[in-house]
Chain A
């Protein structure tokens, strides 16, 4: 167990680098070389090594679930604790997060330091705290602790998105990100309280974990306070409350609007946010407490539908964007939609798989975009680029690998994971439909949307690639780009390799075809502490949500191949269309052909507008009314009481005339009144 003694250090190292950087930032002097980047790199690299150690230890079949610190305890009621839970899921996530954080730190040397940015200690302090918060969230062993780190993650994203606070855009984007995610987090917080009120604990693992208790309640083996609802209904409500936080953080419809704006932050931060930290936190939370969600079919169906819808919805918006980072932003929303779709369809492994591959290729794409942005002197408009593949071959090669993965082209990593997501949705949708479950139709609908989104993904991804790297250079900067150093190319190379190979850990169709035992991720997630294994989750979804696998022609294998083939064909179709339209020497904007839809897409389906309307047109009048009520009625009553008090006070004191004879008179009167009253009451006369 020696390895686990060092587990807290994974979180504490980046926190230490945060403290160092804050100290430097506060001192206001240039105390550290590279503006504090080196402690950050050292800390995250250390965390990465420790995470790998944890990963290896966990592969040895050892798990860790330990309460570190109890910070509040109510005797006989509940305890609020900090603790660590290291199982296959969190160990894998630790490796991903620390790896990407390390690479982002290195990349920042090229993106921030070499660019002569100021305020670097503040930047690295933010990165350190961001990483530490996310790691704390990943290893959290209870929902409350997870919530606290979830909020810290939100805070850090606010600080980093608004890093360039002197410009107009970033502060506003930071505020938007903070407020929109906070809106979701309100529900999460209520959900946490509801979990405590219902189960008296919020532990994820162990015999007393709340998913286990919930299962026992549904089986009638235990009882819990469900506030007068049927247990199933109440658990659905609690699940949806927590889901509020997930939807906000993972930028799912309708709370996705903050994410495109968050592109105002430095690009390495975007990479971190999108690939490994903030946005991943939402999906990870659902995976973490999947034992609870698996109990309520309604919640699962809602998750799946939101996911499928978001995948398609965001992909269509990515089609018309002019700026490279905007395209990537919408692709992130869309890809997290796939993960939600997988989770909702009972594809716990598929979601985790996609979370992993996406982390690698999205980090790669953002860093690649960062590299392009460095080269383009911070011009992000793709219509000003073109033909960059000649000037920056490393970036082009890696970016292309990432794009192929994102588009889901065989055999890049994205293909395998996206394929499995769609496969899970399809078979469970079919099974549900076959079993006559209403959720089956919902799943199939979500699957259809996810499938359609594959086409758009292929299209917008390669539209981006062709516009950026192919054709003729369309501006002077594109003809003569700024060079990038090793610290940019290094991380790109590492991630490029991963984007290609990460999918090989779980080639389900190949395994089915050949019968070879190569589904490593399945095996990885099958073991773990009791109640946290994928097998257990499959049982739960089967037993409580009645998920069964249905098939198309050709049985299981046929279905897998058909599903993979169709999605690959759609992706290729999208790529092909992009090739036809944009892989020409001088591409033109084809958006006018979309007619009215163009405006709709440019305006992101007016999501921002309707949310602004909700804020100003609805919430503001309601708030005004509440304010009126407060000022008029509540304050009125309060002021009234005070003036009545003062007035009666000024009257009462008039009794005190200063003439002692009057006092004697009043005294006699008072005594007489009392005498008469009590005489009558007591019958003295």
Chain B
């Protein structure tokens, strides 16, 4: 009630609006001063915008905007968008990642052309992600997803003279185009079966529908669209190349924020539109996600274990983490009281993941800045040259592997415990086995950094302040999320439980 009584409802979307305005502001700057290479100003505007967005999201979250305690989700624009606890939670993730990426890009882009465009695209993509989290209709979901995707394609191919970057962009774009075609075709089938796009109406129409086949096909294809966005099997093929070839800050952005956005919209679509209570028995999407979760985490981790290139290893590990997060959808069952806990745990894991994975990729950005190579051997003995950054990287690696006492431990713990609590102990078991395997390849990085002797001569001459700051913020976030995990998981689980009400 607090916020609704003081501000107009449309301002509930402020975290997203701020991002969009920042993007427009950057365009204005660019048109006033084309080809500006004033990185500080551009990055500054982006960071301020992202932090403002984060501030709004945090304020709204703590004020209880759109949550059950203040009267439930705020629905806007004829139910096209809804702002509730989950939307705000994900907006906070996107804003945090965007801020870190913007800080890190300051050094990464130094001396490169088209910086204004870069930041503009990042902000637009973040806007799209925020809208994905708030989408309450298949139409807005699709538009928001495209708004997040299209700038991403361009961003991946941003290094126009770098073959890797261009190739990554091409693959990302082509698979993305096919996926969005599949996605939109799925929407059209659901529309064909239900005659509506708004989630609640879709659920209503699906309840007892006679077009089970058409609707089921549509649900499957829509799930495919989300699988693309979250880099889940079998729509994951773009991810290793895109993450490897893209500028490292963009890899961080895509693998953390973009993935979380895919989950945000998937969570809402599958709990609101295709709610288990309404969906015909013939459309067993829980089984679908169980298969996808197991295959995705296994494939991601197994492929990561044999990589020689650290950045590509992180790309595969990102696929593996998508598998873990999918447990949030795979461990649901109709009417179970545990549903909110499982999905909340998945959301919390995505938040922690947003910090630790962004940090890891930003560390890669740091090594690319130093130009020391991407293979494990190239990292040998780095610890003696850049101990602070390497300590942060160690935190990221162990946290990604889920070792205590890092943030990743608790989020995985709650995720697996939630799955067990919901009766899906085997999902937790597969997750745990995969986590154990993941320790193998994460610790390879740590071993190379600290234990191995330097194989080649390299001298680190510069300490880029932006990248360092971004890595430190990510490390701090990963560590702070350990003691601060209590409120986070509580907030996430409350927000998720509201979806099932």
* A–B interface present (Cβ within 8 A): yes
Q: Which residues on A are within 8 Å of B, measured CB to CB?
A: 642, 645-646, 648-650, 652-653, 655-656, 658, 660, 663-664, 666-667, 669-671, 674-675, 678-679, 681-685
Shortest distance from the beta carbon of A647 to any chain B beta carbon, whole Å: 9
When distances are taken between beta carbons in the complex, the residues of chain A under 8 Å from B440 are 642
What's the nearest-Cβ distance from chain B to residue A219, in Å?
A: 45
In the assembled complex, which residues on chain B have CB atoms less than 8 Å from the CB atom of A649? Answer: 301-306
A663 to B173, CA, bound (A): 12
Q: Which residues in A have their C-beta under 8 angstroms from that of B276?
A: none
Given A667-B178, A669-B234, A674-B288, 18 other A-B contacts at CB below 8 A?
A: A642-B440, A646-B305, A649-B302, A652-B303, A653-B302, A653-B307, A655-B237, A663-B174, A664-B175, A667-B175, A667-B179, A667-B235, A670-B233, A671-B220, A671-B234, A674-B220, A682-B213, A682-B284
Question: Which A residue sits closest to B292, measured CB to CB?
Answer: A674
CB distance from A373 to the nearest CB of B (A): 55
Beyond A660-B174, A671-B221, is A684–B213 a contact (Cβ under 8 Å)?
yes
B349 to chain A, nearest CB (A): 23
- Fill in one digit per residue for B222-235: 1 if any A CB lies within 8 Å of its CB, else 0: 00100000000111
| Residues on the B chain within 8 Å of A664, using CB | 174-175, 178
Contact of A671 with B224 in the complex, beta carbons under 8 Å: yes
**A660-B175 in contact given A678-B284, A681-B284, A684-B216 (Cβ < 8 Å):** yes
CA distance A234 to B224 in the complex (A): 63
Residues of B within 8 A of A (CB): 170-171, 174-175, 178-179, 182, 212-213, 216-217, 220-221, 224, 233-235, 237-238, 240-241, 280-284, 287-288, 291, 299, 301-307, 316, 437, 440
Which residues of A lie under 8 Å from residue B281 when comparing CB positions?
A: 682
Bound-complex Cα distance A642 to B444 (A): 14
A646 to B437, CA, bound (A): 10
Residues of chain B with a CB closer than 8 A to A656's CB: 237, 240-241, 303
- CA of A366 to CA of B178 in the docked complex: distance in angstroms? 94
Q: Is the pair B302, A678 in contact by a Cβ cutoff of 8 Å?
A: no
What are 15 A-B residue pairs whose CB atoms fall within 8 Å in the complex?
A: A645-B302, A650-B306, A653-B303, A660-B170, A660-B171, A666-B234, A667-B237, A669-B234, A670-B234, A678-B216, A678-B287, A683-B282, A684-B212, A684-B213, A685-B213
Closest to B224 in A: A671
Report the Cα distance A294→B360, complex, angstroms.
67
Enumerate chain A residues within 8 angstroms of B224, measured Cβ to Cβ: 671
Q: Is the CB of B212 within 8 A of A663?
A: no
Asked if A675 meets B220 with Cβ closer than 8 Å, knowing A681-B284, A682-B282, the reply is yes
In the complex, the chain B residue whose C-beta lies closest to that of A659 is B171
Chain B hits for A650, CB < 8 A: 306
Contact of B213 among A653, A667, A679, A681 (CB under 8 A): A679
Nearest A-chain residue to B228, judged by Cβ:
A667
Smallest Cβ distance from B278 to chain A, in angstroms? 15
**Minimum CB–CB distance for A669 against chain B, Å:** 8
Q: In the assembly, what is the distance between CA of A663 and CA of B303, in Å?
A: 16
Complex Cα gap A685–B282 (Å)? 11
A648 touches B302 (CB 8 A): yes
Q: Which residue of B lies closest to A681 (CB)?
A: B284
Chain B contacts of A684 at CB under 8 A? 212-213, 216-217, 282
- Of all chain B residues, the one with the shortest Cβ separation from A668 is B178
- Specify which chain A residues have a CB less than 8 angstroms from the CB of B171 in the assembled complex: 660, 663
Q: Which 9 A-B pairs have the closest CB atoms?
A: A670-B234, A682-B282, A684-B213, A663-B237, A649-B302, A649-B306, A653-B303, A649-B305, A650-B306
Pairwise interchain contact B306-A653, C-beta atoms closer than 8 A? yes
How far is it, in angstroms, between the C-alpha of A122 and the C-alpha of B154 when the chains are bound?
74
Chain A contacts of B241 at CB under 8 A?
656, 658
Give the Cβ gap from A333 to chain B, nearest Cβ, in Å. Answer: 50
B306: chain A residues within 8 A (beta carbon):
646, 649-650, 653
Task: State how many angstroms separate the Cβ of B58 from the closest Cβ of chain A.
Answer: 37
A648–B306 Cα distance when bound, in Å, is: 9
Identify the closest chain A residue to B238 (Cβ).
A663
Nearest A residue (CB) for B304 = A649
A682 in contact with B303 (CB, 8 Å): no
Q: A644 to nearest B CB, angstroms? A: 10
A503 to B8, CA, bound (A): 99
Cα separation A678 to B212 with both chains bound (whole Å): 12
B residues in contact with A663, CB < 8 Å: 171, 174-175, 237-238
